[in-house]
Amino acid sequence: MKYLLEPNDLTIREIDELIEIAKDIIKDKSRYQEAAAHKILATLFFEPSTRTRLSFEAAMLSLGGSVLGFSEASSSSAAKGESVTDTIWTVSCYSDIIAMRHPKEGAPYVAKRRAKVPLINAGDGGHNHPTQTLTDLLTIHREKGRLDGQTIGFVGDLKYGRTVHSLVKAMARYEGTKFVFISPVELRIPDYLKEDLLDVKNIEYKEVTTIEEAIGEVDVLYMTRIQRERFSDPEEYLRLKDSYVLDLKKLENSKPDLTIMHPLPRVNEIAVEVDDDPRAKYFEQVENGKFIRMALILKMLGLENKIERLDKTEIHSVINPNTQDKKDKSNTVVNVHKCNNPRCITTIEQELDHVFYLADEETNTYRCLYCETKAE
């Protein structure tokens, strides 16, 4: 496995295996403390982070490896105008594996072209966040014992929330998944997920505007923050920022075994009174992030079989056969369309061609290869 840019770069079997390894690590962490000795992880964070960067670093240190990197673009030569491509090419000379976060959507697809070592997308703008997805899948698996047959309610900023986009892509691959999207009209999930995935694959979903409309039917309630940094209009952010605040009253009609998740950071969308409720699992989710990243580092470095597992039982998730094919992005046109997404990597990497792929033959829809924005 040379790169992880979006969740569906992994097969279901690979995800099952990562969950198996993470659970084995949880059983007895001490066995893994030298598993990645002498290996170096580079964490390149062009955008702020607490959990993703520190859990990656804690994961590598817990495997006996070392870490280097930067936590803000201003302390790297990006501040002098160095391109993403040159940064990655350079850091490939100093490390065995790279985790990169960038505010521009599609940046990892550009970085991949010059990465000489395994590359992990640690979040690209409002687009994807595949290692948060792995964290979320491990959390759901630990809570429910399986990934199929779940009804998931996503709440909040579903337009800019990259954790939502990635988890929708991932959960759509399991049999019996149903989605409830709870958001203000302005922050509904992007069309590309509805049109290219949910509608064409006949996956059940509905869009509502209040938590109360859906609380009784969901197995997992996935809260998200309204993403201030993605809004071009600050007035719109101020109007929408307090759209949802989950408190114990709103949870009164939930299923007793509801799992409440949040990728964090939270601002005020979950009242602190919920934190000690047995349904609240967002800090368990934080800890799971370290274990699944340990598993991912081992797998991407080809070290996953170095430690004998205590429990050799394999997980075999029940899949939706309609959603197993990988998106075909091979039918492309170059510099015919121009991406109009102000958050796309093409807006800052001047030498990049504007490449669009044929997303739907029937409607002749083309989408940007980097950020998936539809061609005008």
Does position 153 bind ligand CP by CB under 6 A? no
Task: Name the 3-class secondary structure at 45.
Answer: strand
Sheet holding 151-155, edge to edge: 205-208, 178-182, 151-155, 220-223, 259-261
CA distance 156 to 207: 12
Scanning residues 105 to 134, which ones bind ligand CP (CB under 6 A)?
Answer: 123, 132
Q: What are phi and psi of 177, to 5 degrees?
A: -70, 140
Determine if 288 is a binding residue for ligand CP (CB under 6 A).
no
50 lines the binding site for ligand CP (CB under 6 A): yes
Out of 8, 43, 52, 183, point to the residue binding ligand CP (CB under 6 A).
52
Spatial distance between the Cα atoms of 3 and 97, rounded to a whole number of angstroms: 9
* C-alpha to C-alpha distance for 297 and 355, rounded to whole angstroms: 31
Residue among 154, 228, 223 at smallest CA distance from 194 = 154
* Neighbouring C-beta atoms of residue 49, cutoff 10 Å: 19
Nearest approach, Cβ of 375 to ligand CP (angstroms)?
30
Quick one: 33 or 50, whose CB is closer to ligand CP?
50
Cα separation, 168 vs 348, whole angstroms? 28
Which range touches ligand CP (CB under 6 A), out of 27-35, 46-54, 300-308, 331-339? 46-54
Decide whether 103 or 123 has the Cβ nearer to ligand CP: 123
Please select the residue that binds ligand CP; options are 51, 142, 281, 299, rule is CB under 6 A.
51
| Window 306 to 365, contacts with ligand CP (CB under 6 A) | none
Q: Cβ of residue 204: shortest distance to ligand CP, in angstroms?
A: 27
Instruction: Compute how many residues bind ligand CP; rule: CB under 6 A.
Output: 9
Give the Cα-Cα-Cα angle 299, 29, 51 (nearest 5 degrees): 70
Separation CA 160–CA 223 (nearest Å): 13
* Closest CB 97 distance from ligand CP, rounded Å: 18
Give the interface segment with ligand CP, choosing from 57-65, 218-226, 260-268, 365-373 (CB under 6 A): 260-268
Both tokens of residue 119?
Answer: 């590359």
Question: Would you give the DSSP letter of residue 347?
Answer: G
Task: Say whether residue 263 binds ligand CP (CB under 6 A).
Answer: yes
CB 1 → ligand CP: shortest distance, Å? 21
Nearest distance, CB of residue 46 and ligand CP, angstroms: 13
CB of 163 to ligand CP, least distance (A): 6
In DSSP terms, 101 is beta-bridged to: 45
**Closer residue to ligand CP (CB): 285 or 320:** 285
* Candidate residues 49, 92, 133, 227; the one interacting with ligand CP per rule CB under 6 A: 49
Question: Quick one: how far is CA 49 from the chain centroid?
Answer: 14
DSSP, collapsed to helix, strand or coil, labels residue 140 as helix
Q: Considering the complex, what minimum distance in angstroms separates the CB of residue 330 from ligand CP?
A: 31
Is 368 one of the binding residues for ligand CP (CB under 6 A)?
A: no
Q: CB of 290: closest distance to ligand CP in angstroms?
A: 12
Cα 305 from Cα 244, distance rounded (Å): 44
Q: Which stretch binds ligand CP (CB under 6 A): 47-55, 178-186, 327-335, 337-345?
A: 47-55
Q: Find how far residue 374's CA is from the centre of its chain.
A: 21
Give the Cα separation of 256 and 251 in Å (integer): 10
Q: Does 265 bind ligand CP (CB under 6 A)?
A: yes
Q: 264 vs 371, which CB is nearer to ligand CP?
A: 264
Residues that bind ligand CP (CB under 6 A): 49-52, 123, 132, 263-265
